Amino acid sequence: MSMDNTKLRFFAPCPRGLEAVLEQELHELGIPTTTKTDGGIGFQAPWSTMYWVNLKSHIASRVLWEVGQASYLSEDDVYRAACSLPWPDWFTPSQSIKVKVSARRCPLTSLDFITLRIKDAVCDKFMSVRHKRPSVDTHRPNIRLDAFLDESTVTFYIDTSGEPLFKRGHRVLSVEAPLRENLAAGLLRLAGWTSGDVLLDPMCGSGTIPLEAAMMARRIAPGMSRSFAFERLLVHDAQRWGHLREASRLKQLAEVPAAIYASDQDPAAVKIAQRTFQGAGVAIDVRLRQSNVLDIEAPAEQGVLLINPPYGVRLSRPEELDAFYPQLGDWLKQRFSGWRAYIFTGDLRVPKLIGLAPSKRIPLFNGPLECRLYEFVIVSGSMRKTIPTSK
C-alpha cells in the first residue's frame, strides 16, 4: 500500500536549543515547509520522506507521525477522540503498545489517568474491530503511541522511530554520562564545522563528537546500522525503504576529506572510542591517542577545537575546576592562535575562569541540564579582557 500520494503531518523532537539546526537540516533533506516550535520541528511530507528523515537526520530525537487531533474538555473527550481513530489499519493486536502523554497548560489533573484512558480507547477499538486487544509493554513495545495536550486540543502520534534516533546502533560500551549523538552533531553544526575543516576533540571520552564528524564527512547515514518502528507498521512499504537505504549507501564516501583528531587522558575511554569507531567503520578516519589535554599541540595552522569537558556537574570538585580552566585558557592562547575553540559545559563560570572573552554563548539543554556552547576565536597575542557578567 503506497501512502506517498498524500502529504502527512510529522513532528521531529530534538534537544532544546537545536531547533534551528534541525530545521536547517530538514531543508537540506528536501523538506521545504517546516514549523519551528519549542523542542522540535513540524513538517508535512509524503510517507517516504519520513523514512529519509529517520535514516539521515543527525539532529532529530525521533519522528512522530500525527494520526489525529481533536478538541477536548474532559478525559472522556480524549477517550472518544482516541477511539475514533483507525488503529487496526496501522498495526495488529499481536503487537505490544506503550502510550506516552505529554502536556503544556493542560487543565486536566492527572496525565497518568489520561494515559490509561487512551490505552483503553486503543484496546476497545481493537476489540470492536478485531475481537483481540494488543498487550501493553512499557519497556520494549513494538508500537509507541504519543499524545500531546495543550489547553484545549489533543494530538495523537505514532512513533515511527522506535528507539530514539541518537541510538545509532554502533555504541559498544559507554563511559559515564556520555554526550548524546544528536547533541554532538548539533554542536558540530553550531560550531560551523564542515568536512573540509581540521577538527580536534582533546577530551573525547567515548568518542561521540569525532564519530559524528566522521559520519558527516563520509556521508554515512546515521540510521544505516539500526532498525525502526515504521518497519512494523501495516502501511510500511518495504520495497521503497530498501531502495532509499541502498541509494543512501551508494552516496557514502570512501574517505574523509579533512583530518579529525581525538584524544583523552583516560585509557579506558580511548579503548571504548577505538572500538566504537571500528564498529561504525570509521576507525581510519579518526586519529586517536591517549594524552592529557594540556600536552597536545595544534595539529594544523587552523581548525575547529570542540571540547565537552567531563568536569563540573559530572565529575570534579569546584576547586579542581578553578585550577584547570585558567590552564586551559593559557594552553589555547599559546598553542591555538588561528583556531576557533568551542567549549560545551554546564559550568557558566567558564569564560571568567578561562580568562577569554567568548564571541558567542549559545544556550542548549543536555537533557534537563541547562548548558552553554561558548565560542572563542583565538587570535595571536593576549585576549584577556574584562568579561561581561551577563550569562
Rounded (10°) angle between helices 181-190 and 19-28: 80
Asked if 191 and 143 sit in the same domain, the reply is no
Output the DSSP codes for 114-179: HHHHHHHHHHHHHHHHHS--PPB-SSS-SEEEEEEE-SSEEEEEEESSSS-TT--S---S--SSPP
What integer is the mean pLDDT of 315-324? 73
Residue 320 — pLDDT band, cuts 50, 70, 90? Answer: confident
What integer is the mean pLDDT of 181-200? 96
Asked if 260 and 313 sit in the same domain, the reply is yes
Provide the pairing of β-strand 340-345 with 286-290: unpaired
Could you identify the residue written with the cell 489520561? 114
Output the DSSP codes for 285-330: GEEEEE--GGGPPPSSSS-EEEE--S-TTSS--HHHHHHHHHHHHH
Asked if 62 and 15 sit in the same domain, the reply is yes
Asked if 186 and 325 sit in the same domain, the reply is yes
Residue 313, pLDDT > 50, answer no
The domain of 48 spans: 8-159
Residue 168 — pLDDT band, cuts 50, 70, 90? Answer: confident
In a domain, 26, yes or no: yes
In total, how many domains does the chain have?
A: 2
pLDDT in tens, 193-217: 999 999 999 999 999 999 999 999 9
Containing H/E element for 71?
A: strand 64-71
In a domain, 384, yes or no: no
Asked if 307 and 365 sit in the same domain, the reply is yes
Asked if 60 and 111 sit in the same domain, the reply is yes
In a domain, 3, yes or no: no
In a domain, 138, yes or no: yes
Residue 253, pLDDT > 60, answer yes
Q: Residue 70, SS3?
A: strand
What is the pLDDT at residue 332? 96
In a domain, 168, yes or no: no
In a domain, 102, yes or no: yes
Q: Residue 262, SS3?
A: strand
Asked if 191 and 93 sit in the same domain, the reply is no
Asked if 191 and 64 sit in the same domain, the reply is no
In a domain, 231, yes or no: no
What is the C-alpha to C-alpha distance for residues 205 and 175, in angstroms, rounded to an integer?
A: 7
Residue 391, pLDDT > 70, answer no
Nearest CA-CA partner of 294 in 343, 256, 335: 335
Q: Is residue 44 classed exposed, middle or buried when 0-12, 13-18 and 19+ CB atoms within 10 A define those classes?
A: middle
What is the C-alpha to C-alpha distance for residues 23 and 19, in angstroms, rounded to an integer?
A: 6
Are 287 and 261 contacting, i.e. CB atoms less than 8 angstroms apart?
Answer: yes
Task: State the CATH number of the domain containing residue 327.
Answer: 3.40.50.150
What is the pLDDT at residue 173? 61
What is the pLDDT at residue 322? 82
Asked if 332 and 196 sit in the same domain, the reply is yes
Are 199 and 210 contacting, i.e. CB atoms less than 8 angstroms apart?
Answer: yes
Asked if 202 and 273 sit in the same domain, the reply is yes
Asked if 134 and 14 sit in the same domain, the reply is yes
Q: Would the pTM count as exceeding 0.85?
A: yes
